[in-house]
Amino acid sequence: MLDIGHIHRKEYELDADRSEPIVIAEAPGRVHYLGEHGEPKAGLLLSSAIDRYIRVAVSPRKDSSLRFYAADLGERKRSTLVNLKYKREDRWANYIKVGIHIFATMGYPVKGLNFTVLGDIPQHIGLASSSAIEVAAAAALRGFFKVTISDDDLLDQLILSNKLFFEEPTNPIDYVIALAAKEDEFLIIDESTLELSRVKSSISTYKILIMDSRVPRIGVEEELQERQHDIKKGLALLAQKKKGASLRDFVTADLIESMGDLPEEIRRRSMHIVQELRRVYDAEEALNKTDFPALSKVILHSHESLRDLYEVSCPEIDWLVKRAQEIEGVLGSRMTGQGFGGCTYTIIKESAVEEYRRRLEDYERIFGFHPVLYEIKPAAGTRLVSA
């Protein structure tokens, strides 16, 4: 990654020999391996931070202006504390404003500030680049104001500030991962409580490849809302037998017994969620035991379930997954993200990568999309780079 400190000084004409402090923090992207399509606010996910980061640099100004510079895009935005609010045209700068909002509402002396943002998280493919900007900005300001606020408290402030700033509920999972992640660890996160457990990576001899299929994703939000509605309806029908229950309180047998009571489509959606919960625990056990055949089976069944029961895959993604699974040296491959296009992840031996790349030529020839490949690994979370 480029030297953000040098870029920041050049952008704001800061003299390197003078005493203007520059505080820099970084926050990682993340990937979900299992569980992301779960019961709303009650899911169970297997995830990790990835070794792709957003860095945010902050320094003081002599006036009361707030200046923002996106070095990757060559774009500049500006605001003031009085006018600190969401603006559609400010796009990426809105996420830095969330961090400013935290410390302004906590009573810290937010005056004129310069910000620069720079990163290598691929954008718009579901790797949490937006959340990483928010967390990096908040962490940089925590260092700038020399605040002794814990990560747990910062998490609470990020959730509150995001909700107030964007005036809509936020999913805090990305914040949890960005703040809690450690190198070479997977996290199992309970969405209902935000509690997490750590699983040491046992796949260090493998590479993890993220494949952006480049399939245009149109109408995704409507499709996902429809599935969420199906889940709620299915739970309401099932809960007639178990008052106050969530889908965690049911097993596959319950859904089989309810075939006459649940519409088939709703039963399939619910079946995916119930079985995916079990798969997260099975994956944890397989990772702890270094049982690669068991882990491979879990990943395979999870993608089949997303394809056949939850129905959020597409022909291009299914092709990528199937071809990957045919290669000797591939532990597993599965879609990740919201679906209907987007990405797959593949856990693969170094010796098999060349064959994997070769097969992508067939993908482009058949479907007409030029896929983009990223290599990642489970990585450490947010940190202060310099102060």
Catalytic residue numbers read 174
Which of 125, 101, 85, 70 is closest to 342 using CA atoms? 125
Helix axes 264-289, 292-308, angle to 10 degrees: 160
Domain shared by 172 and 214, yes or no? no
Domain shared by 359 and 217, yes or no? yes
Domain shared by 177 and 266, yes or no? no
Cα–Cα distance measured from residue 280 to residue 297, given in angstroms and rounded to the nearest whole number: 12
Which of 26, 198, 204 is closest to 121 using CA atoms? 26
Domain shared by 153 and 229, yes or no? no
Domain shared by 164 and 268, yes or no? no
The string of DSSP codes covering 259-292 is TTTS-HHHHHHHHHHHHHHHHHHHHHHHHHHT-H
Domain shared by 127 and 214, yes or no? no
Q: Which residues of the chain have pLDDT under 50?
A: none
Could you give the number of structural domains in the chain? 2
Question: What CATH number corresponds to the domain at position 362?
Answer: 3.30.70.890
Domain shared by 174 and 270, yes or no? no
Domain shared by 181 and 246, yes or no? no
Question: What CATH number corresponds to the domain at position 121?
Answer: 3.30.230.10
Q: What pLDDT shows up at residue 219?
A: 79
Q: What pLDDT shows up at residue 242?
A: 65
Q: Which residue has the tokens 């006459």?
A: 260
- Residue 57, both tokens: 């640099």
Domain shared by 97 and 190, yes or no? yes
Contact 200/289 with Cβ under 8 angstroms?
no
pLDDT in tens, 205-253: 999 999 999 999 887 889 999 999 988 888 887 777 666 567 777 767 7
Domain hosting residue 307, numbered range: 206-376
Q: What does residue 34 show for φ and ψ, rounded to 5 degrees?
A: -150, 150
Domain shared by 148 and 217, yes or no? no
Q: What pLDDT shows up at residue 327?
A: 96
Domain shared by 216 and 355, yes or no? yes
First to last CA, the chain: 18
Q: What pLDDT shows up at residue 231?
A: 87
Domain shared by 222 and 194, yes or no? no
DSSP bridge pairs for 40: none
